[in-house]
Amino acid sequence: MLYIDQPIGVGFSYGTDSVTSTVTAAPYVWKLLQAFYTQFPQYENRDFGVFTESYGGHYGPEFADYFEEQNAKIASGTITGQNIKLVALGINNGWFDATIQEKAYVDFSYSNSYKPLITASQHTSYLNTYQSKCLPALQSCSSSGTNSACKNADNVCYNSIEGPLSQTGDFDVYDIRAPSNDPNPPETYVNYLQSSTVTKAIGAKSTYQECPNAPYQQFASTGDNPRSFLSQLSDVVKSGVTTVVWAGDADWICNWFGNQGAAEAVSWPGQAAFKAKSLASYTANGVAAGTFKSVNNFSFARIFGAGHEVPFYQPAVALQVFKQTMQKQPLSST
């Protein structure tokens, strides 16, 4: 299992680069994997899966799509390199498409299964604000693709929808059940990774940084956040890669309403059947763990009682989802 710290500046990564967006990050990750295969050729030709969460709704689809594009170029002789045998893509509580997911903030805040954050009249008011302010800005970003239009959409939607809604009560945006000062998941691992003993043992050349501001500012400068990556996700699903979009149902920031909406918006031959299919019970060792639906190589799951980082809250269920996906199987109850 490889843990990739990117863009440069996060985690243990260091150096200089020109990465200012999800799209410009993809070639660096591909080059990293080429270097890995060169150093460890025994891992060439093994099944390879990409698993991401949160902003991984951008990273996962783009990186997987880029890997497949590079594989095609290698096969045609356009470039030289090691084929990445991509068999799986898993994204939990991802940020895929702002048009779908900004509206989901409004709906989830009103009708999630844990606690309503807004009243019916506030729900109507926020929907009107979404339609009159946020949506037009997002449409301008989508149609023009310019950095300025997308930065504007980011600001408009945050200031009119996401920001105000996040202040409607004392709750953790990563787990609506908990207060804003929620200590979970604990960040004790940061101290561990920053200790000189660990840094020396793993050969790190820099001090671990959890969420440094500089890389964020680079991405913000191009308006990366509101750009949709549904087309790339559609490419991956259409190619036959086993793909799962799954979400802890207590997460607010990348909630399951928006993740299901994004999954149902994926354009592929099975889209109509997938969208029409109802969610069924998903069990792990006979215990109700959530709801799900699968059509061919594409699955969606809502995981009960889990916040943003599903494996922390429901580790056994998360392992089951991971195993089934890596084994190139649609999700199924056990």
How are beta strands 280-284 and 242-248 bridged, if at all?
Answer: unpaired
Task: Assign 229 to helix, strand or coil.
Answer: coil
Terminal alpha carbon distance of the chain: 25
Instruction: Give the Cα-Cα-Cα angle 166, 169, 170 (nearest 5 degrees).
Output: 100
User: Mind telling me the catalytic residues?
Assistant: 54, 251, 308
Q: Is the dihedral of CA 94, 98, 104, 109 positive or negative?
A: positive
Alpha-carbon distance 2 to 75, whole Å?
25
How are beta strands 287-295 and 280-284 bridged, if at all?
Answer: antiparallel
15-18 long-range CB contacts below 8 Å, 24 or more apart? none
Give the CA distances from residue 311 to residues 27, 112, 137, 180, 247, in Å, rounded to whole numbers and listed in that order.
Answer: 28, 21, 35, 20, 11
